[in-house]
Amino acid sequence: MADLSSKAQVAKRIHCHKSCFWIVFKILVQTSSLELFMYFRIRNPAFGLFSTHTNFSLISSSSSQRSYHHLMANLSSEAQVGKRLEGKVALITGAAQGIGACMARVFVNHGAKVVCVDINEELGRSVCDDLGAENASFLYCDVTKESDIENAINRTVHEHGKLDIMINNAGIADEGKTSILDNDLSDFERVMRLNLSGVFLGIKHAARVMIPARSGGIINLGSISGSIGGITSHSYSSSKHAVVGLTRNAAAELGKHGIRVNCLSSHVVLTPLSQNFFNFGEEGQSRVYTNLEGMVLKPEDLANAAVYLASEEARFMSGHNLMLDGGFTVTNPAFGLFSRF
């Protein structure tokens, strides 16, 4: 009988441990990092409120169970929605192809109404046709002209009643001459006008309509070239460094109006722009050094990162330069300590 009693106790412990495992597992798969912290903050004996012998059966107590189910009900309702930008209105520059077109598609998938602006009317309208007239519309806009930007934002607000998200994506790269002696001022100014002045105008006029609403999110597209040197041309690198500085300065000013301004900087993405700049052949992006072996950065990766920056999940993030580079900018292979060669 004693042996049977001992076996029964062991079986009971195993059942308890299994129950604890599934409770923790459900929390992990349904909870954000912040919510997970808040949950374990009241359970973790390391914080000292409870002893190290706290019994997980406390979860079964009525008060704990009510708190647990209330938390999980909120999390489940959010997880089931899935559309992180439901009811939002976004304007994306340079949306006719490449990263901008991909962002438009992903934003629509997350419930946003998207206004695609570009100078390539044929491709831009094609993108919007694919997304459906109820989800996306196209406006011709040269971001280097203030009147075009002003008009695009005014028409967006007129059609949708507001502007929640402004994405300054339009950009250009020059030939990339290796010697500064061979660079022409006209080429330098052309790149700066589009990559920097275009972003400035986008921020300015987005802020104009967001300030009265006391809310909004602005995302500027940067580059790893805006953090380190020696990767791209003088003009492109200068423009992207400036975009990061402009992002931080705008965030410092506009925060008092509830407007968040962030930058999204990436490693090389295989797009028409990068293909022309780097002269990619059939090998494509595999020719470019990356710190993450076997990983290729795709436009969808940037689009998903932009969704995060535009969503309520990033509601306290502003003035940040989100690096989507696989650790490239923190890795110097010349030192050789972690060399793969």
Active site residues: 236
Nearest CA among 302, 313, 325 for reference residue 94: 302
Q: Residue 174 — left, alpha, or beta (φ > 0 → left; ψ -120 to 50 → alpha)?
A: beta
β-pairing verdict for 259-266 and 165-168: unpaired
Contact assessment for residue 168 and residue 221, using Cβ atoms and an 8 Å cutoff: yes
In whole angstroms, give the CA distance from residue 72 to residue 66: 10
**Burial grade of 317 (CB within 10 A; 0-12, 13-18, 19 or more):** middle
Find, among 169, 164, 168, the residue nearest to 90 by Cα: 164
Give the C-alpha separation, 218 to 226, whole Å: 18
Q: What's the burial of 178, exposed, middle or buried (CB within 10 Å: 0-12/13-18/19+)?
A: exposed
Residue type, 142: D
